[in-house]
Structure 1
Amino acid sequence: MPKFVSLYSGAGGLDLGFIAAGFEPIFANDINADATATYKAAMEIISKRKGLSCTHEVVTGDIRQVETLPAKGSADLVIGGPPCQGFSVAGKMDPNDPRSRHVFDFLGMVERVQPRAFVMENVKALAENKRWAGTIADIRKKAEEIGYKTNLKVLNSADYGVPQARERMFLVGFKGEDVVYEYPEPSVSTPVTVAEALHRLPPIGAPGNDEVCTAKITPAKTPILRQSPFAGMLFNGQGRPMDVNRPAPTLPATMGGNRTPIVDQNTLENSSEQWVVGYHASLMAGGAVTAFVPSNLRRISVQEAAAIQTFPSDMPWQGSQSSRYRQIGNAVPPKMAFAVAKSVAEALGIEHKTDASILDCLQ
């Protein structure tokens, strides 16, 4: 079974996809203790239920300060999503943000281990924003210097059965010049909607969907309007309503308070028109700001956020509720990771046993 080293692993979204595609983890690292606790708990369940070797070393701490690291030749693959806050358009896009240097620490591990390939995930802006053109060029140049030919593309998770239009950069490098790589083709013809994802869970408040967000929803006194009722700022904070009949926008790591996305419970239950559509039309026509928000509007739960990211329904999340939301928002959707992992295995000519049920084996 081909082996991989995982860096900046978080709760394990990327790793779950690669394990399902037939790769075996031998080392994982993240600086966040709650995330590594979640990761360990999930791997223990997979090991017991699937009989796989997933009880590998999981180290909490800054990878630059970890003393015992994987040795040269110990893995076929190095994967990871270095911190993206310095590159993200949702942040300050500060070129001096020290977190941005982790992409080069990632390549440092690649140089140390000398795997056959590596997969680096990051935000779309790193690949496409002109501000970062020099940085991505430097990353690819460094990869070439240590012996890897790279491929760069932005993928949309909605193309792979994820009920979320999450666009992410995947830089895939192969040792040598003779590997021909093709990114995965879309696996679904019709995107999965938010409603479809949430209907797979128990009703809100019931066991299995009871980690609810209590942040109140109040109308913005001065709404910021856009053409879509699901854009702009119609409510307090930055938690926007989601169109449950479409894939969700990118879930943020700042969920847990008033930045947690909003859904219309009535629409989920009986397919009625979403309240925000009529309210938005009224505002666009010059109508008054509402004095209250109806009770059928609510924020998504921890389990619903995880479902939108395609984590198993009973993923053993650890830490406080805000930490759980953050772990989910920072993750790579496992179904998206699975598609990338299969394409990498194919390019490497690895004969492996794909088991997509691993993505559901925690249930």
Structure 2
Amino acid sequence: MVLRGCREKRADVSPQRSTRLRRRLAATLVAVVLADLVFVGALLGAIAPLVETLRTALAPAIPATLWWLVLVSVALLALVAVQLRTARTMTLSRTDVRRLSESEAPALFERVRRLATLADCQPPAIGLVDSDVPNCFSVGGRDPMLVVSSGLRDQLNDDELDAVLAHELAHLRNRDATVMTLATFLPTLATDRPVAGLPRWLRANLFGGAILFAFVVALGWTQSASPTAIGLVAALSLVLGGIALGVLATPVVYLSHRLSQDREFVADRAGATLSGKPEALASALEKLDDSVGSTPQQDLRSLDGVVDELCLLPHGFVRDAAEGDGGRFTIRLRSHPPTSERIDRLREFAAEIES
């Protein structure tokens, strides 16, 4: 009887990938790949003579078109893999996530393992953010992780915590957590917070400037230009690099915004189905949303929307009123649907189940 009940529960919680969600997942992924293709094309175009020399020396029998197609494909796949790994690392480092061992939180691990079994997916790693602000998020990749704050565990009862964890497992099961993690890479490069010790403007201008200058080299203009002209073009590329990076990231930001509208609703419904208690998830959202208004202002510090976008609720984990944008341009991904609308839909779903 127990096994039969588990099989029935799994059937109920199979990924609810609506047609619109699938389209937006695909569109966001395509936007990320196209942005990477611009970088790969510029880089390989800049070193085209060297690539042709290698083809002649190593594989002269391979047609040039096939050689380039294989080379671009391999480089693109490698870049996407590195980008996902880097985006995941940057996201976790920005929130000071500490990976938990099962001995530290056996009850939490048991909850996640039980829910993952019902959802027919592998239990993810579990991370903890030491913050009184209640929230959670999931990051995808080869080693998916479900991250919770200490405040989340303290403020929710057992049913509410189960429902919230089920919501995050739905993100991982639907693969939208992986796509959203990948999509945070370019916006992270363009945010105001330092990464790897580099200030935002320098990091963005270096990355965007390298792409611009590689394009100029790929077009062959530098072959007949003087060293002075090349130096001026390189300097101009560096100055305009941040703008170029922003233009490159804009489609990813826009499509991530559209994707977020659907992925939260789908994960809410899937999480409510998995936990079997839609009202518990509605209660958790209401409780967590209300708690933000009562949180001391010094405990809230902005994460520039990049990490916030992955969270259950769009307030992130911390926000400091003393830290502002200072009038500087920042790409933001604050695109969660209204929490009140999510709560209303969950309560309508609960009424459907009861009737």
TM-score normalized by the length of structure 2? 0.23
TM-score normalized by the length of structure 1? 0.23
Bigger proportion of residues as strand: 1
Bigger proportion of residues as helix: 2
